Every structure is written in structure tokens, then in C-alpha cells.
A and B are shown apart, each in its own frame.
Chain A
Amino acid sequence: MEVEKRMDGDVLIVSVRGRIDAVTAPEFEKRLMESIGAGEKAVLLTMEHLEYISSAGLRSILAIAKILKTKEEKLVFADLRGPVKDVFKISGFGSIFTIFDTEAEALRQL
């Protein structure tokens, strides 16, 4: 699991690649927690290169989302692929979060 971050205006873009499973989820959550609070108004998680996510990863995302909510920051997603897209759909994350097809589309809308 690798995390890359950059700012685009006041949007913090975090790209995650590899696998978020029970082993890597704590590291993913830690890296994300360290990244927020840089003055961003929204966090965009792009998942083009994320191959796999299990419920441990979903729990990390939910934990971050709850924190961002208290800071009145948005958390949105882009570029979900294959199994990750399916897991989001089945677990209902597709309806509690805003998911864009592409990063560009997300940045236009934010």
C-alpha cells in the first residue's frame, strides 16, 4: 500500500495504490490522518491503482470520514476500479459518499 498526496487549490488529493487489507489499513489510516488539517476544504481520495480493499479499509475510511465531518470538510472519491468499486457498492459506501468517475470531474465539482 502506497499513499501519495498533493494539494490542488484547497483540495487535498490523496492517491492510494496497492492493497488496503487488515495488515495495511492501520498504516493507511495513519498516513491519511497525518495528511489532513493542511488547510484543505475537501479531501479527494483517488483509487485508480487500488487493487483491493477489505472491511478493515472501509473502517479506516469511515473513521476518517467521521473526523472530517466534525471539521466540516468534504470527503469524496474518484476512479474506483473493479473489486474496489464492487465493495463500495455492496457495503453502501456508494450511497453515503460522493464518488466521481475521474479526478478531473471531482475537481470541477468541488
Chain B
Amino acid sequence: MDAPTGIVAPAQLAYLQRMLDFVVSFTEKAGFDLKRIREIELCVEEALVNIFNYAYPTATGEVELTLLPGPENTLEIRIQDRGTPFDIFSVQEPDLDADIEERRIGGLGIFLVRRLMDRVEYRRDGDRNILSLFAKLPPPREPSGG
């Protein structure tokens, strides 16, 4: 895969579709199958919406999404904001066995991210939240012709 490529946008729901389109378009070109593209799209949505909802409670801010080659033949989707510290691993997993009345509304998005991505990392660097989602790259396509 080539050099890092990215997109910066205000951390607002109005920019969700644009950012998802960017990721979908890239993963299509990278040769991911449709199922995996949908899963990656879902995880990026969950991560972004979380930032839109919680990162900047009192002011407006930006979110930066970068696609870059990760270790061990992966695609790294790096999502950064300068908002409230938020460690994705601090969120309690939902109780999947609870019935309708007891089932909590919330926590599901992060759970999906942790289940569907091949690896997830979070670090706080200065005033930045840096969330990295890793997806194993598909095997290279057979070269066509000689």
C-alpha cells in the first residue's frame, strides 16, 4: 500500500458520511471483500460517532482519520482527536445475555469495534486521543496476464 492518506473534518455527525465514503473507497481499491468493507465501515462509524458525541462536550473540535500501512500486513485506520481522554478499553462490555428489559442501551458500538477489528490500540499522546484500528490486508490479487 502507498503513503498515508487522510481526511480531517469537524467532529460532527454531518461529516460522518464523507469520512465513511473515504474509508470505503480506499478499502475497495485495496481489494477487501464487501463483507470486510462493511465491517470496517461499521467500526469506523462507531469510533467516529463516539468522538462526535463525547470528545468535545463544550467546544467544537476536529477529528483526523489517516489510513496507513500497519505492521504484519495490515491496514491501520488511525483516528485522532484533541478532546476528552477516552480509552476504548475502559468501557465495560454489554451483557449479551440480558433480556430486553435489562439490556442496557449503549456500549454496543465499542463492543462491535473490539470484536470485528483484527487489533485495536489506544494511546493518549499529549492532548490527543489516538485510536488505531487494524484490519488484515487481503492477499494480493493474481497478476493478470504474463
Residues of chain A having any CB pair with chain B under 8 Å: 21-23, 51-52, 54-56, 58-59, 62-63, 65-66, 69, 82-83, 86-87, 90-92, 95-96
Tell me, rounded to whole Å, the shortest Cβ–Cβ distance linking B85 to chain A: 22
Q: Hey, which bits of chain B sit against chain A, CB under 8 A?
A: 13, 16-17, 20, 35, 38-39, 41-42, 45-46, 49, 52, 94, 96-101, 103, 105-106, 108-109, 111-112, 115-116
Q: With A and B bound together, what is the CA distance between A86 and B20 in angstroms?
A: 20
In contact, B42 and A83 (Cβ under 8 angstroms): yes
Chain B residues with Cβ below 8 Å from A86 are: 35, 39
Contact A83 B100 (CB under 8 A): no
| Residue of B with least CB distance to A51 | B38
Q: What's the Cα separation between A54 and B113 when bound, in Å?
A: 11
Chain A, interface SS category: helix
Tell which of B16, B38, B46, B97 has the most Cβ of chain A within 10 Å.
Answer: B38
**Partner pick for B103 among A54, A62, A87, CB 8 A cutoff:** A62
Q: Which residues of B contact A65 (CB under 8 A)?
A: 100
A56 nearest in chain B by CB position: B49
Partner of A90, one of B41, B101, B103, B115: B115
Asked whether, in the complex, the Cβ of A21 is within 8 Å of the Cβ of B96, the reply is: no
B108 touches A58 (CB 8 A): yes
CA distance A91 to B114 in the complex (A): 11
Q: Name the A residues within 8 Å of B111 (CB-CB).
A: 90-91
- Within the complex, the shortest CB–CB distance from B95 to chain A, in Å, comes to 8
Contact call A95/B45, Cβ cutoff below 8 A? no
- B38: A residues at CB distance < 8 A: 51-52, 82-83
